[in-house]
Structure 1
């Protein structure tokens, strides 16, 4: 009994006329066993199919898991489009994720405007997670949104503190004016 040579008969041998799951001798494809030599699961060196074992892609493109060359796949930019691409795309030449602006987001949340700063923190935490899953365009977009929101928080906080200072100055002037005795001649 021979496990490796399927042409001699034995365990797992196929009948000469073809069997279950076997392709005709002139054809090809996955699952075909060579008529002589070869072992379990091997593809014929010059046979049909894609010329290799499982997991190999055809030389002319296409195949399972590849996007069509004309564009239009999920997360793929059209040839004239820009950006980093989508899921499964190669990272940009630098290879580093964009700045997440987390420090600025935290500082503006603490000292300027809490609601806008929280949005900035959420956007900045999305940058690295999107980069790690391969969504490079989404990471760049989240970085830009984080920067926009911490700047909005900074502006809102600056306006708030200017209004607070103006309010205290007005109150101080009014109290000082009310406490000065007026003299009448």
Structure 2
């Protein structure tokens, strides 16, 4: 059964050198093949100098490559030289070697007796002190300690205000009830 003139290049003829589903001979660089080595196709890096994933040579811009820090002092990711905070750096322990006070006892006391929501924040901050210290985040541990102290003090102040209002309310209630009771006096 024949579909047209296959020998002359008619409608049913195969193209010279192979059919539509075949790959071109090796070295041709067809759609599904990689070019021979050294050719620099889409998936390969150029043999030397300047691909997209490579850093530019030193000397351009801010100390060389895009991800590099500037030479001596200043960059966004660097810690300031010693003196800032509680020991001077993210990875440098302070001279004493002991973590800052976590204020956990005061946080629990003010949570129980003063103001529950503010006390809970204080407990959360105080539990972060030791974990940050163990991870090496010394400045973060100091900051968490200061925040814990701030929150338990806020809880204490809110609790004092609350208890003063409660006492004043009971006194007013007692005065109002005492004034409304008829006095019985005999003459």
Q: Same fold (TM over 0.5)?
A: yes
Residues 159-178 of structure 1: pairs in structure 2 closer than 5 A:
159-175=161-177, 177-178=178-179
**Cα offset for 1:116?**
0.2
**How many pairs does the alignment contain?**
179
**Cα offset for 1:82?**
1.1
* Structure 1: gaps (5+ residues): none
Larger Rg: 2
**Cα offset for 1:106?**
0.4
* Structure 2: gaps (5+ residues): none
- If the length of structure 1 is used for normalisation, what is the TM-score? 0.57
Given that 2:102 and 2:126 are in contact with CA atoms closer than 8 Å, whether structure 1 keeps it comes out as yes
Given that 1:87 and 1:134 are in contact with CA atoms closer than 8 Å, whether structure 2 keeps it comes out as yes
- Per the alignment, residue 148 of structure 2 pairs with 146
Distance across 2 between alignment mates of 1:81 and 1:9: 85
Which consecutive aligned stretches of 4+ in structure 1 deviate over 6 angstroms post-superposition? 1-46, 51-69
**Cα offset for 1:63?**
14
Which range moved further: 53-62 or 37-46? 37-46
Which range moved further: 72-81 or 104-113? 72-81
Given that 2:4 and 2:11 are in contact with CA atoms closer than 8 Å, whether structure 1 keeps it comes out as no
Which range moved further: 12-21 or 134-143? 12-21
1:4-44 CA distances to partner (integer Å, 9 max, x unpaired)? 99999999999999999999999999999999999999999
Distance across 2 between alignment mates of 1:22 and 1:152: 78
- Structure 1 residues 137 and 18: alpha-carbon distance in aligned structure 2, compared to 1, 3 A threshold: farther
- Per the alignment, residue 68 of structure 2 pairs with 66
Distance across 2 between alignment mates of 1:4 and 1:71: 80
Given that 1:100 and 1:143 are in contact with CA atoms closer than 8 Å, whether structure 2 keeps it comes out as yes
Distance across 2 between alignment mates of 1:82 and 1:6: 85
RMSD (Å), alpha carbons? 13.0
1:90-125 CA distances to partner (integer Å, 9 max, x unpaired)? 200000000000000000000000000000000000
